[in-house]
Amino acid sequence: MSMEDSSGQHDEKINHTISDTAKQISTTISMLKGFTMENMDTSFQTLRQVKIFGVQTITDTITLTETTYDKTSTNKYLHKAVRTARIPVNYDERHNWLRVFELLAYLLVELQAQVHVHETLQKQQASVIIVPSEETVRTKLSVG
């Protein structure tokens, strides 16, 4: 998971926010690439289920993002915002807590699903689950 804090609570610096957003996209893609390199003998279909999460705050807003392999290509990535919530900073904004908790609940459910994906990948990498060579990450990405 990548976490980025952009701008202060009251004052957004647009150039800083754009730079931090680009950095987070780059970081989550790099994390996915690194994870890929550690799992070359697993099924590419299973690897496509891996999600790298990012959290970015901009002033009083928190955004949860996911980076995955694009389902339509072996060499493209998909980075998308999946939840956004305003962070309540005073009593009158307390109704905004619902969105914050929904964001956290979504993340918890997704992380629990990722545990299963990672367990499957570990078994495939260790050859406990046999993956045909033509289905491996190594073959699909034409590496080594």
Number of domains in the chain: 1
The answer as to whether 33 is a domain residue is yes
The answer as to whether 144 is a domain residue is no
Q: Which of 93, 39, 23 is nearest to 15 (CA)?
A: 23
Res 125: pLDDT: 96
Tens-level pLDDT at each residue, the chain (144 residues)? 888 777 666 666 778 778 888 999 999 999 999 999 999 999 999 999 999 999 999 889 999 999 999 988 888 999 999 999 999 989 999 999 999 999 999 999 999 999 999 999 999 999 999 999 999 999 999 875
- Helix or strand or coil: residue 44? helix
88 secondary structure, DSSP code? P
Burial of 131 (0-12, 13-18, 19+ CB in 10 A): buried
Q: Are 24 and 56 in contact (CB under 8 A)?
A: yes
The answer as to whether 106 is a domain residue is yes
Kindly give the pairing relationship between strand 77-86 and strand 52-58: unpaired
The answer as to whether 107 is a domain residue is yes
Rounded to two decimals, the pTM is: 0.88
Res 4: pLDDT: 75
Residue 8, domain extent: 2-139
